[in-house]
Amino acid sequence: MSDPIKVYPSKPQKVYYFGTCLVDMFYPDAGIAGVELLEREGIEVIFPRGQTCCGQPAYTSGYHDEARSVAQAQLDLFPEDWPIVVPSGSCGGMMRKHYPALFKDTPQATQVAEIAGRVWELTDFLLNVCHIKLEDPGEPVTVAMHTSCTARREMGVAEVGPALLGQLKNVNLVEQVRPEECCGFGGTFAVRHPEISAAMVSEKVDTLVDAGTREFVTTDCGCLMAKRKAAFDGWDLETLRDLGANIRMKALSNLPDLLEQLEQKLTGNGIKVHWAVDGDEACRIVRDICIAETGSLILWPTPDEPRLMSLVPPVHIAVLNASEIYTTFHEAMLAREWAAGMPTNALLISGPSKTADIEQTLAYGVHGPKELIVLVIEQSTAP
């Protein structure tokens, strides 16, 4: 159940941001938008680099010891008494409501209770702590709103989404039938009981369509992913391929602006950026300042990037620290102490692929990326 009485903190100068797995892996734009909204309110956002999963999948599957182990890794990420903002009622509910029970009668119980009390769902924090005021320069649109089960019942934010949408003069919010019913995702529930989950998702999609709109918004990416899957069921492969191509072209068309923004932020922090205008120049830069013998990039997971995958997409952007450049591959192996523990999915990239077109399946990374963008950063020596 949600808190019987909510006591909101004063608007802080800083917050921690816990990004969640689904935002990180599937909807990074949503996570970035949340950060931008907080920054727009004059709040400095701290993103702890070591964060992974909140532990909810294991917890709701009955593996409490495993969930506690995953949650334990998050506890030391929030040492200051700043609020912890989560762009998900589901993960927020896990941390705020279930962490104390998970660590009951353990040495961490007091620490966990203090951390849980600082956890806030993003939209709730924006509305009731930041008192955000939104303007609407967009075109008129009609939408339906879906609030996740945990956001509604554990975080108590069922009225927050409609309140925020109510500030947008060009948004017509229509109410669906039985808005409190589950979308059918339920995390691992969708894996353990796929037929039941699919039926629930289908019914929820029907209620959204019956509300008079094909547009809907939600504050939880799990619910969004479930309904998108249901909406795409039955679409032919060519249509989905065209949609994917359009998404890719949109991302690439905005790439120069995104890279320019990145350069501005890096140079503003005293970091020099080296640009390569094409693949050959990128290879020369890498060859000159990375591994001289092969001109290769080495990719592997670290504690700061625990979710790095070995499959590289067609367009790969690599940010390379100039302070970690090695003359030879052997030197890199010695410096990284691979003899004591070689990474399980080390990947070498020497430049854009020359043969990627012969690979006819969607096994990205078989021949390397089709496009490679390398950003080399180094601390400026200028006063």
Share of residues in the chain with pLDDT > 70 (%): 70
**DSSP class of 292:** T
**pLDDT tens digits for range 340-358:** 776 656 667 666 555 544 4
Mean pLDDT comparison of 77-86, 145-154, 264-273, highest-scoring range: 77-86
> Tell me, what amino acid is at 318?
A
Q: Token match 């593996």: residue?
A: 63
Can you list the positions of beta strands (E) in the chain?
14-17, 44-46, 84-86, 119-121, 141-146, 171-174, 216-218, 271-274, 297-299, 315-321, 347-349, 371-379
Give the CA count within 13 Å in the CB-facing half-sphere of 41. Answer: 24
Predicted confidence band of residue 236 (pLDDT cuts 50, 70, 90):
low
**pLDDT tens digits for range 13-43:** 999 999 988 888 788 888 999 999 999 999 9
Predicted confidence band of residue 95 (pLDDT cuts 50, 70, 90):
very high
The pLDDT value recorded for residue 57 is 86
**pLDDT tens digits for range 161-207:** 999 999 999 999 988 888 888 877 777 777 777 778 778 877 877 78
Residue 370 reports pLDDT greater than 80: no
Residue 305 reports pLDDT greater than 60: no
| Contacts of 75 by beta carbon, 8 Å cutoff, 6+ apart | 108, 111, 112, 115
Q: Token match 């890719």: residue?
A: 248
- State pTM to two decimals: 0.61
b/e map 65-86, b = 16+ CB within 10 Å:
eebbebbeebeebbeeebbbbb
Predicted confidence band of residue 302 (pLDDT cuts 50, 70, 90):
low
Mean pLDDT over each residue of the chain, to the nearest integer: 77
Predicted confidence band of residue 301 (pLDDT cuts 50, 70, 90):
low
Over range 114-139, report the average pLDDT.
94
Do the beta carbons of residue 20 and residue 87 sit within 8 Å?
A: yes
In angstroms, rounded to a whole number, what is the distance separating the alpha carbons of residues 189 and 345?
30
In Å, how far are 276, 304, 367 from 317, measured between CA atoms? 12, 17, 16
In angstroms, rounded to a whole number, what is the distance separating the alpha carbons of residues 264 and 44?
18
> Tell me, what amino acid is at 77?
L
First to last CA, the chain: 56
The pLDDT value recorded for residue 366 is 47
**DSSP class of 349:** E
The region of weakest confidence among 142-146, 167-171, 241-245, 369-373 is 241-245
Q: Could you tell me where the DSSP H helices lie in 254-381?
A: 255-268, 279-289, 329-335
In Å, how far are 87, 198, 223 from 17, measured between CA atoms? 8, 32, 21
Neighbours of 197 (CB within 10 A): 21
Residue 278 reports pLDDT greater than 70: no
Mean pLDDT comparison of 8-17, 181-190, 305-314, highest-scoring range: 8-17
> Tell me, what amino acid is at 261?
Q
Over range 61-83, report the average pLDDT.
92
Domain ranges of the chain: 14-128, 141-246, 270-379
Which one has a higher pLDDT value, 26 or 5?
26
> Tell me, what amino acid is at 100?
P
The pLDDT value recorded for residue 86 is 96
Coil, helix or strand at residue 295: coil
Query: Which run of H or of E encompasses 4?
Result: none
Over range 270-276, report the average pLDDT.
68
In angstroms, rounded to a whole number, what is the distance separating the alpha carbons of residues 15 and 86?
10
Over range 73-84, report the average pLDDT.
94
